[in-house]
Structure 1
Amino acid sequence: MDEKRLASVRNNLARRGLTQALIVDPLSIWWLCGYHTEPYERFLALLVTADGTPTLFANRLFPSADGCGAHVASFSDTEDPVALVAERTNAREPLGVDKDLAARWLVPLMEAGAASGFVLASDAVDDARSIKDARERELMRAASATNDEAMAWLARQVRPGVTERQIADGLLAEYRRLGAQDHSFSPIVSFGDHAADPHHEPDDTPFAPGDMVLFDVGCKRDWYCSDMTRTFFTAEPTEHQRAVYDAVLRANEAAEKIVRPGVTFAEIDRAARSVIEEAGWGEAFTHRLGHQIGLVDHEPGDVSAAHDEPVRPGQCFSIEPGIYLPGDMGVRIEDLVIVTEDGCEVLNRYPKELTVLGHPQK
């Protein structure tokens, strides 16, 4: 059990007036006690109380939880885990519950009178996970360094006739060759005006010389995620294309420049959005500026006009402005940053200046 992380969660619960919480997200359980299994339809939970040792509820089918630092309450497929939980909760106090707690468990817990009330308390864990410790920051750097290398590989795959799907399908093998274990999300590979769809799914469209190319990709390495977007030209860009690219690049740099403790997420979003609005494409920047990231690619706490909290050292999030002009073109430039004591560290080193890729003909 990581006592420092556990203390952070308990402090967050106390601020919300809670003395107990049931955590069911497998990654949050791993983050707290080092035990991980994918439960699928079976019940898995960690009960955290104001003091004492947490209790892990785990099916006997799962791998052994010995050494995780929690009391283990085991059960079989024919036993009721809800009754086990209800025996250990304080029925006179409200119970904080995880946003991932399925109704098939929550409703029986309510019917069993396991607590005086049920409160959504995921933010107690989400907030604690938001602040990356020194080891987590190193792992985030390593994942992004791998992603930088993968982006160089991606750029080399662009050739006449290759399809979006072929490049996307080949990326996982390259990630694994570089030491990562998996994608952190499904890769986005967009040729031509497909880049005007921010979440385009790679299809069988072949690359044709002159197409713009957008890659939005990320890997998972040693549990932690990376995420980066680069947009390339494959022919000399027109004045219009240069202007769009320049606006996005300046927006990316303007936002990164102001990141430091005390600046709000909304102010960071505004720094980028104002550049694109002043360039005349404000309505074409259709999404928030970014999202937090760590054990999963999109963690709670976005970088948007609706998020007025100040950023804190150790938080990691994306800066990804974009301009999307359907039927014409799309540009997005994305980096990850970690907030430091007096600014931020940009994790991505792959160049983001306007680049024209060369393509040998068949």
Structure 2
Amino acid sequence: MNTQRIDRVRANLQARDLDQLLIVDPLSIWWLTGYYTEPYERLLALHLPRIGVPTLFVNRLFPDASNTGARIVSHSDTDDPIPMLSAVIDPTRPLGVDKELSARWLVPLMQAGAARAFVLASDAVDDARAIKDAREQELMRAASAVNDEAMAWLVEQVRPGVTELAIAEGLLGTYRRLGAEDHSFSPIVSFGPNAADPHHEPDETPLAPGGMVLFDVGCKRDWYCSDMTRTFFTAEPTEHQRAVYETVLRANEAAEAIVRPGVTFAEIDLTARRIIEDAGWGPQFNHRLGHQIGLQDHEPGDVSATHDEPVQPGMCFSIEPGIYLPGDLGVRIEDLVIVTEDGCEVLNRYPKGVQIIG
């Protein structure tokens, strides 16, 4: 049991006037207790009271959880876990529930009158997870270092006639060779006009002579995720291509330059967005500037024009402006940053100036 993390969640519960929380997200349970299993259709839940010992509900088929420090309530496939949950939940108080709690469990709890009210309270955990401690920051740096090395491998694969899919399919083996366990999301490999689709799925498109290349990739290493995008040229860029690229690069660097405690997510987004708008491509930057990241590639708390909360030391998020011109080209440049006491640390070291490869 990680008492410091539990104390942070409990402080968040107190601020929300809640005395209890039911957590079912396996990664959040691992983050708090050190215990992980994938429950699939079975129940895995942590009841966290604001005061007292947490209770972990596990199926008897799951790995042993006795060393977590939580009180363990076990059940079998033929047991109904709802009465077991109800016996622990305080029926006189509201119950904070995890956004991942499925209707399969939530509706019966409501019908049983297990709590006075049910309140969506995932943010009590999400806000705590958003502030990475020193060890988590080390792990985020290590995952990004692997991603930097993988980007160098990706660049080496670029040659005339190679397909997007051929490169994408070889990336997992490279990640594992470099010490990562898996992708943090499905890799995006886009050639030429395909890069105008921000979420293009790699296909059999071959690299055409002089075509542009976009790689948006990330790995998971020791539980923590990386995410980076770089866009390359395979021939001397035209004036138009260079103008688009350099606008995106300026937006990326300007946004990173203002990140510091107290600056809002909205201000960071607008800093990048205004540069692209002033260059005449505002409508072609059609997504938020970034997202928070940690145990998952996309975690709650986006970097957008509507997110007015200030950033805090320990937060980690992406800065990824882009310009997308359908039928022509797409450029995105993405780094991860960790907020420090007086600015930010950019985790990615792979160069992001104009590069001609292949």
Hey, what does 2:284 align to over in structure 1? 284
When structure 1 is superposed on structure 2, of 253-262 and 204-213 the one drifting more is 204-213
Shift of 1:207: 1.1
Q: Please give the TM-score of this superposition, normalised by the length of structure 2.
A: 1.00
Alignment-derived partner of residue 296 in structure 1: 296
The separation in 1 between residues aligned to 2:69 and 2:243, in whole angstroms, is: 57
Separation of aligned partners in 2, 1:186 and 1:83: 40
Q: Following superposition of structure 1 onto structure 2, how do residues 200-349 of structure 1 map, counting pairs within 5 Å?
A: 200-349=200-349
Instruction: State the Cα deviation string for residues 277-323 of structure 1 (Å, max 9, x = none).
Output: 11110010000000000000000000000100000000000000000
Q: Report the AA paired with residue 80 of structure 1.
A: D
Amino acid at match of 2:312: R
| 1:244-288 deviations in Å (ceiling 9; x for gaps) | 000000000000000000000000001100100111100100000
> Which of structure 1's runs of 4+ aligned residues deviate more than 3 A?
none
Shift of 1:206: 0.9
What residue identity is the alignment partner of 2:8?
S
* Superposition deviation, residue 66 in structure 1: 1.5
Provide structure 2 residue ranges, at least 5 long, that are not aligned to the other structure: none
Aligned pairs for 1:1-362 (under 5 A) are 1-357=1-357, 359=358
Cα distance between partner residues in 1 of 2:82 and 2:235: 62
Query: Match of 2:107, as an amino acid?
Result: V
- 2: distance between equivalents of 1:273 and 1:69? 48
Any unmatched runs of 5+ in structure 1? none
Point out the more displaced range, 204-213 or 309-318.
204-213
Q: Which amino acid aligns with 2:344?
A: C
Q: CA deviation at 1:52?
A: 1.1
Q: Kindly report the root-mean-square deviation, in angstroms, between the aligned alpha carbons of the 2 structures.
A: 0.5
Partners in 1 of 2:88 and 2:274 — Cα distance? 53
What does the per-residue CA deviation read over 1:176-228, in whole Å, with 9 as the maximum and x for residues that have no partner?
Answer: 00000000000000001000000000001111221100000000000000000
CA distance in 2, matches of 1:140, 1:72: 31
Identity, % of aligned pairs?
76
Whole-Å separation in 1 of the counterparts to 2:115 and 2:57: 17
Most deviating of 201-210 and 126-135: 201-210
Q: C-alpha separation between the residues in 1 aligned to 2:65 and 2:96?
A: 23
> How far apart are residue 50 of structure 1 and its match?
1.1
Distance 1:140 1:259 in 2: 18
Equivalent-residue separation in structure 1 for 2:49 and 2:84 (angstroms): 15
Supply the AA of the counterpart residue of 2:157: Q
Structure 2 residue matching 1:67: 3-state secondary structure:
helix
TM-score after normalising by structure 1: 0.98
Task: Give per-residue Cα distances to partners, 1:11-64, cap 9 Å, x unaligned.
Answer: 001111100000000000000000000000000000000111100000000000
CA distance in 2, matches of 1:328, 1:223: 38
Q: C-alpha distance in 2, partners of 1:82/1:161?
A: 58
Question: Aligned pairs, how many?
Answer: 358
Q: Residue 162 of structure 1: CA displacement?
A: 1.2
| AA at the equivalent of 1:280 | G
Distance, in Å, in 1 between the alignment partners of 2:345 and 2:114 is 45
CA distance in 1, matches of 2:276, 2:203: 29
The AA in structure 1 aligned to 2:218 is: G
